[in-house]
Chain A
Amino acid sequence: MMPHHNDLPDPITVEVVRNKLEGIANEMQSTLFRSSFSPIVKEGLDASASLFTLEGETLAQAIAIPIHLATLIPVVRAILDEFPAATMVDGDVYIMNDPYLGGTHLPDIALVMPIFHDGRPMAFSAAMTHHQDVGGMSPGSVPTNATEIYQEGIRIPPLKFMDRGVVNDTLIKMLRLNVRMPDSFTGDLNAQIAACEIGRRRLGELAARHGGATLTGIFADLLARSERMTREAIRAIPDGRYGYHDFLDNDGIDLDTPIRIEVMVTITDDTVHVDFTGTDRQVRGPFNCMPSGSHAAAYFAVHAMTDPDIPTNGGCFRPISLHLPEGSLVNPREPAPVNARTSTIKRISGCIVGALGQAVPERAPADAASEMLLLAFGGTRPDSSRYVIGELIASGSGASDGMDGVDVIETDGTNCMNLPVEALEMDAPIRVHQTELRSGSGGQGAFRGGLGLVREYEILSGEVVFTHRGERHAYPARGRLGGGAGAQARSVIRRVDGTEQVINSKTVERLGPGDRVLVETAGGGGYGDPEAREPQANAADRANRKTAST
C-alpha cells in the first residue's frame, strides 16, 4: 500500500479527477461517433478521442478498437516538434495524417487542440477519425495493390488547421480538391473539432475548480499510479527472454512469399522490451506497419496479459520499449505503402502474446486464427444500379487453460460485426447457401481451439469484381503446450461450368451468374495434450458437431 505524502494531491480529489477525465474522453468519443458521417466510424467504430499532457503522454482515452491504443502519441509528438507548446495560442488546432511523420495510415486524420488555462497551455485534446476517402488510386483509399504511399491518398504533415480560432481555408480547399467525398470529409473534420471542443470546455471547468497547478499535479500523479501498477504487474512475470514468430501469408503483390514476424520479448524486473530483429524486410504491398501500429500491438498484448483493469494512460506505456529495425516490415522506409497494416498489427499482437505466454502459460491462450477475412463484391443489379458489398468474417480463437476457444469471434486489435445474410441478399443479387461452423477446424488439445466459419455465395446476375483478402491460408494458428494447430483457411471458386479453383489468400477475381465462392476461415489453436481431454468433452464435441462424428 502506498503511504500518502503531504506533497501529493489528496487521493480523493485524484480519483474524482480520474473519473472526470475518463468521462470527458467518453463524451468526446460519443460526440465523435454521433456526429461523424463516415460509415467506418458509425459501424466499424474506427475513431477515438484522447486527452494528452503537455509532454505528449496519454492522460485518458476512449477507444472502441485496440489498434487505436496510443496511436496518437507519435502524432502529438510530431506536432510538438513542429510547433513547440510555448508558441501555441488559444484557438489553435493542428492536423496531420502522414504515417512517415508519426501517423498510422492515410485515412486516419488526427486533430489536436491545445487547452489553455491562465494564458498557458495545460493539456491537449485530440481526435482521430478513419475518413471514408482521402484520395489516391482507389475509392476508400485502402488499395490492396498499392506499391507506394503516393497511391494511397493525400499526405498531410503537421499543419495548423485553425489559427486563433480561424480555419485555414487554403488548406481546406486544397484537401477538399484531393478527396472523393469533400462534404462528408469536412463533416467528419467538424465532428473531430466538436469532440476536441468538449475536451477543452470540460478540462477548463476542472481547472477553474481545482486550479491549473493542482490539476497538472494530479495529471502527473495519475500517470505515476498507472505506471506503478503496470510495473508491479510486469514484475510478477518471471524475468527472461521469450521468443516467438509467425507469418502473414503474403503482401498481396508477391503472392508466393510469406512474411515473417519475429519478436524477442525480454522481461527485466519491471520492464518489457520487444525486439523485432528477425522480422522480414519491408514488403512491396501495403502490409507494412508504422511504429505506431507496433506500439499499439505491444500495449494491447501487455495490457491484456497483465491487468486490463489498470486505468489506461501513458503511465502504462512507460515500462514498455520496442526495437523496430529500420527498413523492416515494422518500421518501413518511405515510400512503402501501409494501408493494410491492420492484418500486421493483429499478427504482431499474437506474437507478443505468444512470447509472453511462455512466461505465464496459464494466462496465454494458444494462437488465435486472428484472420479477419475481408470480402468485397462489386457488381450491377438487374435494374443496372451498382452495388459494393463488403464483408468482414472472423475465425476461431485459441484455447486456453480451462477453456475451449470461441468459434468465429473477433480477437486482438479489431472488433467488427459480420453482415447478416438477410441484409446482404436484400441489397445485392447474391444468394448465400450456407453459413455454418466449420466442423473439425479447431486445434485439438485438452482444450479445443475455436472453429472457423463456412460461408457459400452464389452470384445471381451480372459480372462481379470479387476481392478476397484473407490470412492463415499458408500458416495455421499454432497450439500451445502440446495442443494441435487450427485448420488453415481455404477458399474455392466453383464456376458455373463445373471447374473448381482454390484461390490465394489475397486475390481479385471476376465472377459471373451461377459462379459460387466457398470460404472457410481458419480455426484457433488447441491447448494442452489432446489425450488429456475429458472424454465427455469429446463426446459433446461430436454431438454438437464441433468435431466430425466418425
Chain B
Amino acid sequence: MKVNQPDIRVGVDVGGTFTDFACVLPDGRRLVFKIASTPGDPSLAVIAGLQELVTTHAVSAASISVFAHGTTVATNAVLERKGAVVGLLATEGFRDVLEIGRQMRRQMYSVRLATETPVFLAPGRRRVGVAERIGPDGAVLRPLDEASVIRAVEQLLAEGATSLAVALLFSFANPTHERRIRAIVAERWPELPVSLSSDIDPVFREYERTVVTAFDAYIKPTVDAYLANLAEALVGEAVNAPLRVMQSRGGLAGAAIARRRPVRLFLSGPAAGVIGGLAEGEANGYRNLITVDIGGTSCDIALVNDAKPLVRQEGMIDGFTVRVPMVDVNAIGSGGGSIAWIDRAGGLKVGPHSAGSAPGPACYGRGGVEATVTDASVVLGLIDPGYFAGGSLALDGEKAHAAIAERIAGPLALSVEAAALGIHRVLTAQMAEGIRLVSIKQGFDPRDFTLLGLGGGGALHACALAEELSMTRVLVPRYPGVLSAAGLLAAPVEHEVSASFARPISGLPPADVSAALAMLDIEAAALMSAEHLSTDSIKIQHAADICYVGQGYHLEVPLDLVGPDPLGTLYRDFLVLHDRIYGHSVEGETRIVNLRTVHQGPIDTRPAALQVEAGDPVKGIRPVLVGEGAVALQAPVLDRARMVAAHEFDGPAIIEQDDTTTWVAPGWHGRVLDTLMLLLEKTGDADRDGNRDAG
C-alpha cells in the first residue's frame, strides 16, 4: 500500500561517487539510501533514486511535499571548465581589473609563478570598456554612451561570447548604467544572458565584485539548463513539490529563483553537511559543535556556535577566492585514502596525496600499492575487512599488511603494527592542529565544543582527535555518512540581500538605517514570495558589517532595529565580537560597511522516528592494537542497528554500521541517546561532569 498523505520530504545530495537520498515519511520514519552518481547528467541519478523510492519503498511521488536538492553542477562547471564563453563589460579604463586582481601570491616560496586570478573566465580579448563613470556617492560623472555599449557587445559576440558579465565601477552605489546595459542587450540580443554586478553582489571592492559576477555569467547557462531539465523531469514523475536547491550559505532556494544568481550554488554540499550536523546536535541539546567530516581525500572542519553555522562572506572555488556567502567549511588534505610515505630524511608523512577511490587503498584490491590510512585501520583491527561499507566491498587484509610492510615498516625498521599505529598517530597530530587553528582563528577554544564525527571516517578517528584537543565529548549521528542529504531536510528556505552602506555609526540617524534595510527587505520579500511560504512563518534577521574607521576588514554584527537604542547596541555588540575574534577592543570611531537582511522560512524540527533492529547488539569480539606500544586489546564489536536508546557501554569497543565504524577508545564511556545518536564521553579525572552546553 502506498503512503498517500502529501507530506513526504525528500533530500537528494549529489556527490562525486554517490547520490544520497534521505526521505522522511509522514509517520516520522526515515529512509536513507545511495545511488551511483551519473556525472554526465547528474539528474539521471536523481530521477533513478526517485523511481526507487516509488517502486521499492512504496512512496507516492504525488505525496512529496518537499524536494530539496544539493547539486555540484555549479562547482563542476568550473572544475571541468565547461562554462559559457563570457564577455565582460567594464568601465572604460578598468577592463583589466579581473586579471590584475589583488596582486598577492599564494605560492610564497615559488619563483616560477602562475597567474592567481580567474583570467580563464574572460581573457583580454573578451573584456571591453564602455564609456561611463559613476562616482563614489552614486553621482553620474559621465553618462553612459549607449553607442559604446552596442559596439562593445558586438565586439564580444564576434569573439564568441555566449554570456555577458557587466561590472562597472560604483554600480553598487548607482545601478542605473548596468541596468540600462541589460535593457539594451535584451532589446537587441534577447537570447544573451546577462549578469549584473549590482544584482549579484552590490558591495564595494571592484575586483571581488567583478570576479563573482564573471563566475555567475560563466555557470549561468549550465545551471539554468540543468535545473530546468530536472524540474521538468520531476513533473514527469508526478512530483508536485517545488524543486528547491541548497545555497552555499546553508539555506534553500526555489530553483526558479536560484537560477537568477547561480553563483550562490557553489559548494552547497559541504554546507548541507554542516546544517545536517547542526540539526542533529541541536536535537540532542548540543549547540556548540566542531563537525569533522573525514572522507577519502580530505577532512572538512566546521564550527557551529550556539546552533548557528559560521558564515563567511567569501569562499574558495578551484583555488580562486569568490565573494559568495558560504558556510565556513575548512578542508585539510587528510582522509582515509591519504598515502603514507617517507621523506628523504627518513620522516613519516601522511598525505596530502591520496589514493582516492581508484585505485584506492591497497586493501581495496584494485591495484593500489601505496600504504594508506585505511590500510593502517585494517592492520590495527579497527576495520573488519569483511564488513566494510556494510560488507559491500570486501577488503584484502593481506594487501594492507603488505603495503605497510613494504612502504613504511621496512624502510623505518619497525613492525608492521607499529608502522600502522604510526600512520594513525601522525594523521591525528595533523588533523588536530588543523582543527585547533580553525577554532582559535575564530576566537574559540576547542575544549568548549563537542566533536561531531561525520563522513565515512569521522567516527573512527573522533576519540583520538578529541583526546589530542582535550575535548571530552564526541557525538556520532545515526547516519553520519549521508548527513548532507539529511541537512537538506533540516535547512530553511532562505534569501539574503545585502548592499553597501558606508556611514560612520556615531551620529547616524537610526531612521537612515531603517530606510536602507526596508529597501533590502522589499527585495528579499519579493524573493520569498516566489517561494509560496506563509508570510507569518518567515523570520527576518538584519545584520551590519562594521569596522573601526581606517580598518580594512570588517565583522558581521546582528542588528535589531526594534530595541530602544539600536545603533548603540550595534556598536557595543561590535566591541564584544571584536574582542572575541581579535582578542581586544577599544572605544573608537566605527563605521558600517554593508547592510544585510536574511529572510528565513520555517525549519522542520520534527524528530525522526528511527527503527532499532531486534537482537543482541554484541556481534563478537576482536583484538585492536592501541597505544604507543601497539598493545592488543580485546574489544567487543557492537552492531549499531541493534543499539537501543539508553544502551551504555565502555571503551574499548567497536561499533559497526553500513556507512562507518566508530572506535570507542579505552577511557571513554558510550551511551545511546533517545534519538539514537551516540554520545561518547571521556571518563576518569578529566571533566567527568561535562555539562551539556545547551540552555
Would B105 and A11 count as touching, CB distance under 8 A? no
Determine whether the beta carbon of A406 is less than 8 Å from that of B426.
no
A110, chain B: closest CB distance, angstroms: 20
Tally the A-B contacts, defined by beta carbons under 8 Å: 212
Residues of B within 8 A of A453 (CB): 100
A407 contacts partner chain B, Cβ-Cβ < 8 Å: yes
A19-B111 contact in complex given A39-B550, A39-B552, C-beta closer than 8 Å = no
Please determine whether B550 and A23 come into contact, CB atoms closer than 8 angstroms: no
Most buried by A among B93, B111, B550: B111
Q: Are B207 and A420 in contact (CB under 8 A)?
A: yes
Which residue in B104, B414, B432 is a CB contact (below 8 Å) of A410?
B104
Judge whether B373 is part of the interface by a CB distance below 8 angstroms: no
Q: Which residues of A contact B206 (CB under 8 A)?
A: 420-422
CB pair A20 B345 closer than 8 Å: no
- Is B33 engaged at the interface, CB distance under 8 Å to the other chain? no
Contacting pair B136 A426 (CB below 8 A): yes
Docked Cα-Cα span, A39 to B18, in Å, equals: 47
Q: Is the CB of B440 within 8 A of A27?
A: yes
Residues of B118-161 at the interface with A, using a CB-CB cut-off of 8 Å, are 123-125, 135-136
Q: How far is the CA of A123 from the CA of B94 in the complex (A)?
A: 52
User: Is there an interface contact between A23 and B96, defined as CB atoms closer than 8 Å?
Assistant: no
Query: B686 at interface (Cβ–Cβ under 8 A)?
Result: no
Interface centre among B204, B345, B586 (most CB of A within 10 A): B345
- B511 touches A (CB below 8 Å): no
- The reply to whether A225 and B429 form a contact with Cβ atoms under 8 Å apart is no
Answer whether A364 and B95 are a contact pair too, CB < 8 Å, given A191-B583, A421-B206. Answer: no
Name the CB-closest residue of A to B418. Answer: A12
* Contact among B110, B125, B345 for A229, CB-based, below 8 A: B345
Q: At the interface, yes or no: A187 with Cβ under 8 Å from chain B? A: yes
Q: Is the CB of A426 within 8 A of B204?
A: yes
Contacting B at CB under 8 A, from A371-427, are 393-394, 397-398, 400, 403, 405-412, 415-418, 420-423, 425-426
Stretch touching chain A among B259-267, B284-292, B346-354, B521-529: B346-354
User: In the assembled complex, which residues on chain A have CB atoms less than 8 Å from the CB atom of B347?
Assistant: 11, 14-15, 18, 225
**Complex contact A418–B429 (CB within 8 A):** no
Q: How far is the CB of A384 from chain B (nearest CB, A)?
A: 16
Q: B103 in the interface, Cβ–Cβ < 8 Å? A: yes
Total chain B interface residues with beta-carbon distance under 8 A: 69
Q: Is the CB of B413 within 8 A of A4?
A: yes
C-alpha gap A174/B169 in the complex (Å): 49
Residue of B nearest to A194 (CB): B583
Asked whether A437 lies within 8 Å of B99 as measured between CB atoms, the reply is yes
Interface residues on A, range: 35 or more
- Asked whether any CB of chain B lies closer than 8 Å to the CB of A509, the reply is no
Contact status B113-A409, CB under 8 Å? yes
Is A497 interfacial (CB 8 A cutoff)? Answer: no
Closest to A362 in B: B112
Cβ-neighbour of A16 out of B136, B425, B550, B582 (below 8 A): B425
Candidates B100, B115, B116; contact of A435 at CB < 8 Å: B100
Query: Are A544 and B414 in contact (CB-based, < 8 A)?
Result: no
Q: Is A216 an interface residue (CB 8 A)?
A: no
Q: How far is the CB of A308 from chain B (nearest CB, A)?
A: 4
* A34 engages B581 (CB within 8 Å): yes
Q: How far is the CB of B550 from chain A (nearest CB, A)?
A: 7
Q: Does A510 lie at the interface of the complex (its beta carbon under 8 Å from any beta carbon of B)?
A: no
Whether B111 lies near A304 (C-beta < 8 A) is yes
Kindly identify, within residues 3 to 32 of chain A, every residue whose CB is under 8 Å from any CB belonging to chain B.
Answer: 3-4, 10-16, 18-20, 22-23, 26-27, 30-31
Binary per-residue interface labels of chain B (76-103) against chain A in the complex, 1 for a CB within 8 Å, 0 otherwise? 0000000000000000011111011111
A2 near B345 with CB under 8 A, answer yes
- Contact check, A3 vs B413: say whether CB atoms are below 8 A apart: yes
CB of A245 within 8 Å of the partner chain:
no
Residues of A within 8 A of B4 (CB): none
Q: Chain B interface mostly helix, strand, loop or mixed?
A: loop
Contact indicator A304/B109 (Cβ below 8 Å) = yes
Contacts of B584 in A (CB 8 A): 35, 37, 187, 191
- Determine whether A185 belongs to the interface, using a CB cutoff of 8 Å to chain B: no
Report how far A334 CA is from B254 CA in the complex, Å.
70
| A400, B135: Cα distance in complex, Å | 41
Given A11-B422, A191-B583, decide whether A308 and B502 contact each other with a Cβ distance below 8 A: no
CA distance A385 to B258 in the complex (A): 45
In the assembled complex, the CB of A76 is this many whole angstroms from the nearest CB of chain B, namely: 23
For window 64-85 of chain A, which residues contact chain B by CB distance below 8 Å? Answer: 64-66
Cβ of A537 within 8 Å of any chain B Cβ, yes or no, is no
Q: Which residue on B lies nearest to A527, using beta carbons?
A: B112
Q: Which of B400-434 contact A (CB under 8 A)?
A: 411-414, 418, 421-422, 425-426, 429-430, 432-433
Do residues B348 and A15 form an inter-chain contact, with CB atoms below 8 A? yes
Contact residues, A319-356 vs B (CB, 8 A): 353
Contact indicator B344/A229 (Cβ below 8 Å) = yes
- Cβ B100 vs Cβ A408 within 8 A: yes
- Is A486 an interface position by the 8 A CB rule? no
With both beta carbons as reference points, the residue of chain B lying nearest to A224 in the complex is identified as B345
Which of A19, A31, A406, A422 interacts with B136 by CB under 8 Å? A422
State which residues 205-219 of B face A: CB under 8 Å. 205-207
Q: A546 vs B113: C-alpha distance in the bound complex, in angstroms?
A: 17
Among candidates A229, A305, A415, A436, residue contacting B95 with C-beta atoms closer than 8 Å: A436
Contact among B108, B113, B413 for A66, CB-based, below 8 A: B108
Contacts of B443 in A (CB 8 A): 34
Whole-angstrom distance from the CB of A22 to the nearest CB of chain B? 7
| A26 with B346: CB separation less than 8 A | no
Q: Residue B169 contacts which of A11, A411, A422, A436 (CB distance < 8 angstroms)?
A: A422
Q: A415 and B104 in contact (CB under 8 A), knowing A34-B443, A229-B344, A422-B169?
A: yes
Contact indicator A22/B205 (Cβ below 8 Å): no
Q: Does B437 contact A (CB under 8 A)?
A: yes
A15 to B104: give the CA distance in the assembly, Å. 31
Question: Known contacts A4-B412, A34-B582, A423-B205: does B111 contact A544 (CB below 8 Å)?
Answer: no
Contact across chains for A420 and B204 when beta carbons are under 8 A apart = yes
Known: A11-B422, A300-B109, A305-B111. A39 touches B436 (CB 8 A): no
Q: Which of A4, A406, A416, A450 is packed against the most chain B CB atoms within 10 Å?
A: A406
B349–A15 contact, CB under 8 A?
A: yes
Q: Nearest Cβ distance between residue B130 and chain A, in whole angstroms?
A: 14
Contact A11 B412 (CB under 8 A): yes
Contact between B170 and A422 (Cβ–Cβ < 8 Å)? yes
Known: A27-B440, A423-B204. A228 touches B344 (CB 8 A): yes
- In the bound complex, residues from chain B placing their C-beta under 8 Å from that of A13 are 628
Question: Is A365 in contact with chain B by the CB < 8 A criterion?
Answer: yes
The residue that A12 contacts in the complex, of B105, B425, B432, B583, with Cβ under 8 A, is: B425
Residue from the list A1, A65, A224, A393 in contact with B411, Cβ < 8 A = A1
Do the beta carbons of B93 and A353 come within 8 Å of each other?
no
* Structural contact, A23 and B433, CB atoms closer than 8 A: yes
A232 within 8 A of B: yes
A543 close to chain B: CB less than 8 A? yes
How many angstroms from the CA of A410 to the CA of B204 in the assembled complex? Answer: 23
Question: In the complex, what's the smallest C-beta–C-beta distance from A362 to chain B, in angstroms?
Answer: 10
Kindly list 15 other residue pairs between chains A and B, CB separation below 8 angstroms, not including A437-B100, A543-B125: A4-B346, A11-B412, A11-B422, A12-B418, A15-B426, A18-B347, A27-B440, A30-B437, A65-B108, A224-B345, A410-B105, A417-B103, A422-B169, A544-B124, A544-B125
Which A residues lie at the B interface, using CB under 8 A? 1-4, 10-16, 18-20, 22-23, 26-27, 30-31, 34-35, 37, 39, 42-43, 64-66, 183, 187, 191, 194, 224-226, 228-229, 232, 300-301, 303-305, 308, 353, 363-365, 368, 393-394, 397-398, 400, 403, 405-412, 415-418, 420-423, 425-426, 431, 433-437, 450, 453, 456, 540, 543-546
Offer 6 A-B interface pairs, CB within 8 angstroms, sorted by A: A183-B586, A229-B343, A422-B204, A436-B93, A450-B113, A544-B124
4 smallest beta-carbon distances between A and B, as pairs: A23-B433, A544-B124, A12-B422, A2-B346
Tell me the B residues contacting A by CB distance below 8 Å: 93-97, 99-105, 108-116, 123-125, 135-136, 169-170, 204-207, 342-349, 411-414, 418, 421-422, 425-426, 429-430, 432-433, 436-437, 440-441, 443, 502, 550-553, 581-584, 586, 628
